[in-house]
Amino acid sequence: MKLSAALLLATGVAFASAQTNFTGDILKGYPVIEYLDLNDVPANTISRYWISAAEAQGGLPYFVPILVARGSEGSLETGRRLSLSASIHGDELNGIPVVQRVFAALGDVVSSGNFNGTIIGIPTTNPNGNIHNQRNFYSSSSNGFLTNLNRVFPGASIADGGSIADSYAYTIWNSVWANSSNADIAVDFHTLSTGSIGPLWAYADFRLDGVQRLAELAQPDHIKIDPGEPGSIETTWVDFGVPAITLEIGPAKNWNQTLIKRSEEFIWRLLDDLAMLPGNYTAPPETVSIGLENTYKGTNFSYVSVSQSGWVQMDVVPLQDVEEGQSVGTLFNSWGDVIENLTAPVAGRVHTVRVDAAAEQGAGVLDLLYNATST
Ligand SMILES: *[C@@H]1O[C@H](CO)[C@@H](O)[C@H](O)[C@H]1NC(C)=O
Ligand SMILES: *[C@@H]1O[C@H](CO)[C@@H](O)[C@H](O)[C@H]1NC(C)=O
Ligand SMILES: *[C@@H]1O[C@H](CO)[C@@H](O)[C@H](O)[C@H]1NC(C)=O
Ligand SMILES: *[C@@H]1O[C@H](CO)[C@@H](O)[C@H](O)[C@H]1NC(C)=O
Ligand SMILES: *[C@@H]1O[C@H](CO)[C@@H](O)[C@H](O)[C@H]1NC(C)=O
Ligand SMILES: *[C@@H]1O[C@H](CO)[C@@H](O)[C@H](O)[C@H]1NC(C)=O
Ligand SMILES: *[C@@H]1O[C@H](CO)[C@@H](O)[C@H](O)[C@H]1NC(C)=O
Ligand SMILES: *[C@@H]1O[C@H](CO)[C@@H](O)[C@H](O)[C@H]1NC(C)=O
Ligand SMILES: [Zn+2]
């Protein structure tokens, strides 16, 4: 019943538009698409789709779940289009519930016919990384490669010589985000890599209009103002003229409810700022925001790494101010001897701290946020 209704909907919609791109497959109750044409998504509805962004060895598709909240009929053209993506790094999980909870809470306002615009949500942008409990995208070619997907956007098709990882990014970029035209503002959620702790913070390229506003609406603890990272989702949006930030939500792996709530709250402030919600709408999450007066902005990171392999004990915590030369931690060998005294290279604010005691030579154990003065 459910299946045939979905099929009817899929074929009916496909008939109505030349661009439409339902494959006809239904997976776990939701249609599989090859291309997201927002005109074919029903108004006043939250829709769920799958897209196969690439195929694993043997032909098994890497299906990516896509949520689309389409507002009132005309608001596809007149309202704003927001992209919310999470977990392009497969061990970075705090953004997943942010996207999920925002969509869950939007249900009533969308079905009431008063939602003004469109949101495309991808809660798990890299299921391959999730499967491997791994930041990167694993490809089985040769004896295996790991690719950081957040360095290969907008990707490259196989026809253009792309690898499986390049073509995976290409599908997300071109078939979900329509080569940027499906969104005019974007947030990509990350966390730190496994093994470190840190606050709520944003990477933001203030050179593009709209980015500073976006970063400040997040009311993060830190804003790293920088020109971005080529191939990242954030910087690809910015290169296409779409204001975007990377929002980093604390540590990998553990769902930190405090930071998740602050991130959800940011999205409600953003929806309000973009006039996507009716004026009488009360956002659901309880208020945990801390305000912009606590936001520390900096343009540079300074890194402390260990020069030998050993066991590290760090003595500073995120958001603590340190002086140049201040002791920040100690590295021990397996006998328990101190083999390195770690000190802050510059004065700044503690950004991230390693909590995984096993530190190999060259491993970063501390990042400080500061403004380098040009000399
Ligand atoms: C879906 O769209 C893609 C890209 O526009 C196109 O290559 C493909 O043939 C389409 N498939 C169907 C089933 O319409
Ligand atoms: C919908 O959003 C657009 C774009 O921000 C805005 O111009 C318009 O006033 C909004 N409509 C309503 C009813 O808020
Ligand atoms: C995406 O847009 C850019 C800039 O408009 C264009 O150069 C490029 O060819 C487009 N890519 C595809 C796959 O259509
Ligand atoms: C979540 O993050 C906050 C802010 O960094 C921290 O104070 C808190 O201890 C964390 N909670 C858990 C359960 O890790
Ligand atoms: C909120 O305002 C909209 C019009 O913008 C109206 O249709 C709706 O009924 C109102 N909802 C409530 C709960 O007052
Ligand atoms: C660093 O510089 C930025 C401007 O680029 C400024 O907004 C910020 O307040 C400065 N931060 C500190 C800690 O001085
Ligand atoms: C600090 O950041 C600015 C802006 O990104 C960059 O131009 C400069 O080279 C950086 N300085 C150092 C010492 O890293
Ligand atoms: C570390 O600091 C302590 C105390 O200042 C000093 O005695 C020790 O020699 C230092 N160890 C190394 C490896 O630098
Ligand atoms: Zn990341």
Residues with CB under 6 A from ligand 5: 114, 278, 280
Name the CATH superfamily for 35-294. Answer: Zn peptidases (3.40.630.10)
> Cβ(211)–Cβ(254) under 8 Å?
no
Residue 13, pLDDT score: 41
Ligand nearest to the CA of 256: 4
CATH number of 301-370: 2.40.50.100
> Cβ(66)–Cβ(48) under 8 Å?
yes
CA of 334 to the centre of ligand 6 (A): 41
CA of 329 to the centre of ligand 4 (A): 21
Residue 64, pLDDT score: 98
Residue 171 φ/ψ, nearest 5 degrees: -65, -45
Dist CA 50 CA 33 (whole Å): 6
Q: CATH 3.40.630.10 in the chain: give the residue spans.
A: 35-294
φ/ψ region of 142 (left if φ > 0, alpha if ψ in -120 to 50, else beta) reads: left
Encode the chain (375 residues) as per-residue pLDDT tens digits. 233 334 444 444 434 443 558 999 999 999 999 999 999 999 999 999 999 999 999 999 999 999 999 999 999 999 999 999 999 999 999 999 999 999 999 999 999 999 999 999 999 999 999 999 999 999 999 889 999 999 999 999 999 999 999 999 999 999 999 999 999 999 999 999 999 999 999 999 999 999 999 999 999 999 999 999 999 999 999 999 999 999 999 999 999 999 999 999 999 999 999 999 998 888 776 666 678 888 999 999 999 999 999 999 999 999 999 999 999 999 999 999 999 999 999 999 999 999 999 999 999 999 999 999 865
Residue 287, pLDDT score: 64
Dist CA 329 CA 338 (whole Å): 10
Residues with CB under 6 A from ligand 4: 199, 250, 254, 256, 258-259
Beta strands in 57-107 (DSSP E): 60-70, 80-86
Give the number of the atom of ligand 2 that is nearest the alpha carbon of residue 279. 14
338 C-beta closer than 6 A to ligand 2? no
**228 vs 41, 191, 224, CA distance in Å?**
33, 16, 10
Ligand nearest to the CA of 373: 7
Residue 11, pLDDT score: 42
Q: CATH 2.40.50.100 in the chain: give the residue spans.
A: 301-370
Give the number of the atom of ligand 5 that is nearest the alpha carbon of residue 281. 1
> Cβ(137)–Cβ(149) under 8 Å?
yes
Residue 130, pLDDT score: 97
Verify cis geometry, omega within 30 degrees of 0, for the bond prior to 65. no
